Structure 1
Amino acid sequence: MVTEDQKMAVRSPTLAALAPVCLLALICATGCTGVRQYVHNGFKVGPNYKRPAAPVADEWIDSQSSRISSERGDNRAWWTVFNDPVLDRLVQTAYSQNITLREAGFRVSEAQSQRRVVAGNFFPQTQEVFADYTRTQRSQETALFPTIPAGSPFANLAAPQFSNWRVGGNLAWELDFWGRYRRAIEGADSRLDASVEEFDDAIVILIGEVATTYVELRSLEQRLDVARENANLQNESVRVAQARLDAKAADSELDTPQAKANLGNTLAAIEAFEIQRRQAQNRLAVLMGMPPHDLSYMLDGPASIPRASDVVTVGVPAELIWRRPDVRRAERLVAAQSAEIGIAQSELYPHMSINGMMAWEAEHFSDVFKGGAFGGTIGPSLRWNVLNYGRLLNNIRVQDARFQQLVANYQQTVLQANEEAENAIVAYLHFTDQIKVREESARQASEAERVAQVKYQEGEIDFNRLFTVQQLLLNQQELLAVARGNAAQSLVDLYRALGGGWEIRLNPSMGGIPSSELPEGPPVPPAPEILPAPRQLEMEGTEE
């Protein structure tokens, strides 16, 4: 009778026997310096990540301007500096309902789940149960004892049919001697951080686009008002020209058609502005996650262009590294790739695992769970890919080259952030100065048009002179509206370049409008119920 001890095969060499192999592998691959670094890194091979240096200026080019403050300001809800409740509502509605932002939020959820998958590899990689049944008919030609007569006690050895029932489980655990799985978790953590920064950058872009489109809409409304006002003036010129023609005044034959042509050009410009205004409204609707529709109920009718602040707090250039989500994302991708170098280096060393199997096995199902049916194995194993060192070393070089690429990308992102901020600062300063010049020009042109209208009615000047003055007035008033819009837009660009606004996800009511008071529009496609909407995202970007 086969005893239970005989049916259980257990391999029992201790893991301590593998320690000399591990130490020998480490010394052979890296030398004594590598051993010290391995211990210093927390028993992990590969480099420990350090944030790379990035080129930043000490101060802004226009830091001496009285309208630029280098103090650290609170730009979290920067759009409120315009003191425009309509803009506040648009921003919060867009944050709550924007579809692109929702997509970015689901990418964060994906990264969260992927991080958990990677962390699971730190524990036994194979954990499975199995159950199977086989029915075997042994060949007569390959039977061990084909001549044993039937009826003999050993007849079942000849060419038997037999069944095998088996129920059990397997376990395999590769031990993380070299930090392969811990480096993978580091990389997953950094990629999760990068996805959060991408989400924050999407918020910055979204708020910037909402503010930009809103400024454009208000600028178009003001240009429409200018065009309509000038159309009224030109219509009056048509009336006067027709009256002079009816009175058979000298040199009046060309005045009426010329005045009507001038009026027609202005009316055509009004239609073009109407098209652009509707397109701006449609763009706002899409940014708010709604189908294009009339937004009059949200815009409260035409209004003036948002007024730029007299003084802007911009901090110092070095703050862009932690202010801007796109810069932080680029840095987190560098950290993730640093971990990939350690993962690649771990392939130079032996893989050590503990493997085990236990099962209940019997010919008849009724005997499967009897004590004598139990058996199993357990023991360590070692795999060392010593014949592919050329491939492994080149893979390390590949990962290092990718790391260097991402370092360069991070440094370039910092430079571009600095450039965008400097460009926005100089635009803000000069566009605000331009407003004063345009206001004086428009005032003088208005006075010139008033005088010319009187002189034309009295016959002191011809229509060509009046036409020239009216065109000057139209141009100057339109240029004033454009300058005001440019000044407001430059301020939007400046705050966007400084990276403000993403903090709204930490406080959705930031900006002074409770979500319960937001206006209702057309229905927005719902988010899948299995995942939270982006506004419910509670994670914060990490910083080192």
Structure 2
Amino acid sequence: MSTYAEHLPTPNKIIPALIAGLLTWIVLGCNVGPNYVRPTAVAPQAYRGALAPDVTTATPTSTLADQQWSTVFEDKTLQRLVTEALQNNLDLRIAAQRVLQAQAQVGINRSQQLPSVSAGGSFSALQVPSSFASKNANGTPGASYFDGGGFNASSAWNLDFWGLYRRQSEAARADLLATEWARKATRSAIVEGVAQAYFQLRSLDAQLQITGNTIKAREDSLKLVTSLEQYGAGSLADTRQAEELLHAARANLPDIRRQIAIEENTISILLGRNPDAVDRGLSVDQQPHPQEIPVGVPSQLLERRPDIQQAEAKLIAANARIGVAKAQFFPNISLTSLGGSASNQLQSVFSGKNAYWYAAASFSEPIFDGGRIRSNYHLSQAEQQEMLLDYKKTILNALKDVSNSLVSYKETRERREAKTAQVTSAADAVRLARLRYSGGNTSYLEVLTTDTDLYDAQLTLAQAQEQEAASLVELYAALGGGWQ
């Protein structure tokens, strides 16, 4: 006849069952706190100031921002400068190191979900002089050498039943994503910065050349006026006015050279090198300017702009930290264990009779903390709301950037076209005025006025050409290009 004890499960069956049940309990444990849901962003149907009908309805991926920067900037020298900047720029390298730091932080947070295990051992030996050793019964000296030791292993595991560590890992992964998008935003800013500085440099080069040509023309004009004065066909007033024009042009040279040096130094720093001269390529008036630019639809900015992606990643991290703060309200459950073997005789350390072990489970529940946990929970909620507002603000600023760039590109192009016509008319006016002065039909004041107008118009045209080129760069960056 069988007894009740015979039907009880043996320890060999109980322990695996307990472990399986514990693991199931941990896996099915809940994650407190809200799960992230992307906020609804209401974007307009089209950008304000679009240059052409939205061609992206038929081909939604064919937009300016989808193009590589090397296809947008056709100047080979500019392409080489941008490539060098992306390889050597210190800001970009700093951003890359921040990504590595965030990756390491993810590993640190993830490790808290797993048990920690450590092991160690010890050995000791002692030898004493025989005169101090006790004697045996037969009168001979006793043992004078002793040794012993042991080894042990211990483990500890804070069970993540409430999702505290999982939420921390979720926040760390979101922080990593935000850091990666920040690196891409830095990359885009470097492409934009090098191109902007390069076009500014080429505009200053054009202004320097214009000023040099103007100085040569005014030197020739001064020689003519001086010659006419010597033969009685001119006056000293005409000579002084011609000298005034020449000195005014010469006075502009130092300032233009100063600005050129500043732009070269700016580009050099962006390239990660010491301040030095910079190579030149196409002149500012030879830079390509497309008449129509496919810009896509505003909703595409949510996926393309790195600053928007960064803001959303920060929102995800803040949302996860609400769960971290909420988990602090619940009990903290932990398991600890220790085992090993020890003996005062080294040769018997591994004997089973010298083994020992210890296991314990504990939990702690906060009862009174002066409102610290509740205040921390409210803090995490407020930070999440701040990140939500920042996310929405970033989207609005992105829409503003695109609209501003579209308007700027359109208006600067029209301004450049008008200035080109103005320079053509001013050059002809100078030619006619000099002919009239040579023929004695007008005073030198007319030549002075028309020459000044031409010089100013030429300088303004060079600046307008730079602004048109720069506005294309701004539009490309505003649409989210340059980081791919």
Check whether TM > 0.5.
Answer: yes
Instruction: Report if aligned partners of 1:164, 1:362 keep a CA contact under 8 Å in 2.
Output: yes
Residue-by-residue CA offset, 1:71-101 (whole Å, 9 max, x unaligned): 5324231452342222222222211221211
**Counterpart contact for 1:348–1:386, Cα < 8 Å:** no
Correspondence for 1:175? 159
Task: Please tell me whether the aligned partners of residues 147 and 346 of structure 2 are also in contact (alpha carbons under 8 angstroms).
Answer: no
1:277 to 251, 260, 267: 260
2:284–2:465 CA contact under 8 A, matched in 1: no
Matched position secondary structure for 1:502: coil
Give the structure 1 partner of residue 460 of structure 2: 479
Distance change in 2, residues 1:389/1:423 (3 Å): same
Q: What is residue 476 of structure 2 aligned with on the other side?
A: 495
* Alignment partner, residue 213 of structure 1: 197
- Aligned partners of 2:55, 2:217: CA distance in 1, in Å? 44
Structure 2 contact 338–358 (Cα < 8 Å) conserved: yes
In the alignment, does 2:237 pair up with 1:254?
Answer: yes
Specify the code of the residue in structure 2 equivalent to 1:285. Answer: S
Cα shift readout 1:258-280 (whole Å, capped 9, x = no counterpart): 21222122122123222222222
Q: Alpha-carbon deviation of 1:412? A: 0.8
Q: 1:420 to 1:340 in 2, by over 3 A?
A: same
Q: Identity over aligned residues, as a percent?
A: 28
Structure 2: distance between partners of 1:408 and 1:502: 25
Residue 45 in structure 1 maps to residue 36 in structure 2:
no
Q: Which letter maps to 2:120?
A: F
| Aligned match of 2:84 | 93
1:318 to 299, 310, 316: 299
Q: Distance in 1 between matches of 2:109 and 2:407?
A: 47
Deviation, 1:443, is 0.8
CA distance in 2, matches of 1:253, 1:333: 73
394-403 or 461-470, larger mean C-alpha shift: 461-470
Determine the structure 2 residue equivalent to 1:332: 313
Q: Aligned to 1:240, which of 204, 224, 227?
A: 224
State the shift of 1:436 in Å.
1.6
> How many Å apart are 1:56 and its aligned residue?
2.6
- The answer on whether the counterparts of 1:68 and 1:311 sit within 8 Å (CA) in structure 2 is no
Tell me the CA shift for residue 203 of structure 1: 0.7
Partner amino acid, structure 2, of 1:43? C
DSSP-derived class of the 2:470 partner: helix
Shift of 1:331: 0.3
Alignment-mate amino acid for residue 456 of structure 2: N
Give the superposition deviation at 1:14: 9.1
* 1:189 aligns to 2:173 (yes or no): yes
1:329 positional shift:
0.2
Residue aligned with 1:113, SS:
helix
Which of 60, 83, 88 in structure 1 is aligned with 2:47? 60
SS in 1 for 2:350: coil
**Per the alignment, do residues 461 and 305 of structure 1 end up closer, same or farther by CA in structure 2, a change over 3 Å counting?**
same
The answer to whether the 8 A contact 1:334-1:410 is kept is yes
User: What code does the residue aligned with 1:48 have?
Assistant: N
Q: CA deviation at 1:291?
A: 1.6
How far off is 1:365 after superposition? Answer: 4.5
Give 1:43 deviation, angstroms: 2.0
The Cα shift of 1:366 comes to 4.7
Whole-angstrom distance in 1 between the partners of 2:443 and 2:310? 66
Give the residue type in structure 1 aligned to 2:444.
F
Provide the rounded CA distance (Å) in 1 between the counterparts of 2:344 and 2:230: 121
Change over 3 Å in CA distance of 1:471–1:313 after alignment to 2: same
Match of 1:355 among 323, 336, 339: 336
Provide the secondary structure at the position in 1 that maps to 2:363: strand
Q: Structure 1: any 5+ residue segments left out of the alignment?
A: 1-11, 24-37, 136-149, 152-161, 504-544
Conservation of the 8 A alpha-carbon contact between 1:69 and 1:311? no
Q: Identify which range, 175-184 or 257-266, moves more after superposition.
A: 257-266
Matched letter for residue 190 of structure 1 = A
Q: 1:412 to 1:331 in 2, by over 3 A?
A: same
Tell me how large the CA RMSD over aligned residues is: 3.0
Residue 28 of structure 1: aligned partner: none
Letter paired with 1:51: R
Q: 1:400 to 1:313 in 2, by over 3 A?
A: same
Asked if 1:116 corresponds to 2:102, the answer is no
Deviates more, 1:231-240 or 1:467-476: 231-240
Q: Contact 1:81 / 1:309 at 8 angstroms: preserved in 2?
A: no
Q: Distance in 2 between matches of 1:301 and 1:501?
A: 21
How far off its partner does 1:375 sit? 0.5
CA 1:66 to 1:55, structure 2 compared with 1: closer, same or farther past 3 Å?
closer
Matched, 1:267 2:257: no
- Aligned: 1:105 with 2:96: yes
> CA separation in 1, counterparts of 2:339 and 2:162?
29
Check if 1:463 corresponds to 2:444. yes
Q: Tell me, what secondary structure is at the counterpart of 2:368?
A: helix
Q: AA paired with 1:410?
A: Y
Greater mean deviation of Cα atoms: 367-376 or 224-233: 367-376
Within 2, Cα distance between the matches of 1:60 and 1:324? 15
Whole-angstrom CA distance in 2 between matches of 1:477 and 1:336? 54
TM superposition shift of 1:423: 0.7
Retained in 1: the 8 A contact 2:225–2:242?
Answer: yes
Unaligned runs of at least 5 residues, structure 2: 1-14, 126-133, 136-145
Seen in structure 2, the aligned counterparts of structure 1 residues 352 and 209 have a Cα distance that, compared at 3 Å, is: same
1:355-400 deviation per Cα after TM superposition (whole angstroms, max 9, x unaligned):
1001222344454333322101123221211333832222111101
Equivalent residues of 2:211, 2:253 under 8 A apart: yes
Contact 2:328–2:373 under 8 Å retained in 1: yes
Native 8 Å contact 2:336 2:360 kept in 1:
yes
Q: Secondary structure at the match of 1:195?
A: helix
- Aligned positions, number: 449
Tell me what 1:539 maps to: none
1:77 matched to 2:68? The reply is yes
1:129 corresponds, among 119, 122, 129, to 119
Change (3 A) 1:15 1:122: same
In 2, distance between residues paired with 1:55 and 1:220? 43
Cα offset, 1:483, TM superposition:
1.1
Map of 1:294 onto structure 2:
277
| 3-state SS of 1:294 partner | coil
CA distance in 2, matches of 1:281, 1:380: 68
